[in-house]
Amino acid sequence: MKLKYALFAGTLFATVIIDQLLKSSIRSMMALHDSITVIPGFFNITYGTNPGAAFGFLAKAPPAFRTLFLILVSIVAIVLILYFIVKNKATDNLLTLSLSLIMGGAIGNLVDRVRAGEVTDFLDFSLASYHWPAFNMADSFISIGAVILIYEIFKRRG
């Protein structure tokens, strides 16, 4: 049982710290919309902000509504994840890992929303004429956690 909570706390702490350190570095070393080419035609570090959620969802909504709504959704997600962490078995390490990655990412973006009303994005990928919207480490942790969670769900059903 202690391993489950150590895994949860360690992963959660690491994801939030990594996310916040990288975002802080980007904000302090780059001007908004500046870009550094890392792999030409594929990957840039581009400083941007997103007042909305994934892919700009709610970006054009009234700022007070948008910020309050996204903060409340984050808090609800955090509470649900804490519930599932407590309820899952001590041996479900992959489930614990997935939920802690998702929660760490949610907290990382929540910190940005509370601090500035928007999140800092900087990971910018493209391939030929296809361009993926910029995102950040918190989004990456949420996505990785979601993939692991989906794997766990299918594994349990199979």
Cα 75-18-48 angle, rounded to 5 deg:
80
Catalytic residues: 121, 139
Q: pLDDT of 69-97, one tens digit each?
A: 888 999 999 999 999 999 888 788 999 99
Q: Is the pLDDT of residue 57 over 90?
A: no
Q: What is the pLDDT of residues 16-43, one digit of tens each?
A: 999 999 999 999 999 999 999 999 999 9
pLDDT tens sequence across 120-150: 999 999 998 999 999 999 999 999 999 999 9
- In the chain, domain spans: 2-157
CA 92, 54, 125, 105 dihedral sign is: negative
Cα 85 from chain centroid (whole Å): 18
Rounded CA-CA distance 122/26 in Å is 7
Query: Following CA atoms 101, 116, 120, 151 in sequence, which dihedral angle do they give, to the nearest 10 degrees?
Result: 20
Distances (CA, A) of 116 to 49, 50, 90, 153, 154: 10, 10, 37, 35, 38
Q: Could you write out the DSSP letters of every residue in 63-112? A: HHHHHHHHHHHHHHHHHHHHHHHHHS-TT-HHHHHHHHHHHHHHHHHHHH
